[in-house]
Amino acid sequence: QMELEALRSIYEGDGCFRELSPVSFQYRIGENGDPKAFLIEVSWPETYPQTAPILSMDAFFNNTISSAIKQSILDKLMVEVEANLGTAMTYTLFEYAKDNKELFMENQPVNTVTSVSNSIAIGTPDGPASKKKDKKEQLSKTQKRKLADKT
């Protein structure tokens, strides 16, 4: 109860923090529009803080992040959870994630869709060849599938 009140007062007015229920919280690490931003969800089981909170990155906001990166972030957060077991740790976890955002996301590619379309859209600047350039910008079914798989 005390941790809940503390979280409410600390994050009052913070657009990144969201209380889903009295035992479940979300925090967005990074600004809106930041390609390396991610969302952490923390839920408290009945025996919290003696047992670890449930950490999740399954929110739709995280769909652009590879599952390997998500698992890596969760693994690093679990190390922090083990170190703080028995104490109120939700604020600590959110701050730890904020402080280490760049480290967590260093292997996350930025704008994979843009880089793919840039490599495909290369054409010749000649006037008569403009029809060919238009054709090169259209993606084949295979290219579209690969693009969809990457995203």
Residue 126 phi, psi dihedral angles, 5° rounding: -65, 145
Tell me: pLDDT of 65 over 70: yes
Rg of the chain over Cα atoms, rounded to whole angstroms, equals 21
Domain boundaries, the chain: 1-105
Q: Which of 6, 110, 111 is nearest to 49 (CA)?
A: 6
Looking at residue 98, its pLDDT comes to 86
Mean pLDDT score across all residues of the chain = 77
Q: Which residue has the higher pLDDT, 110 or 67?
A: 67
Structure tokens at 143: 């290219």
Question: What residues form DSSP beta bridges with 55?
Answer: 42
Residue 129 has pLDDT above 60, yes or no: no
What mean pLDDT is predicted for residues 125-149? 63
Out of 3.40.50.300, 1.10.10.10, 3.40.50.1950, 3.10.110.10, select the CATH number for domain 1-105: 3.10.110.10
pLDDT tens digit string along 1-26?
888 888 888 888 888 888 888 888 88
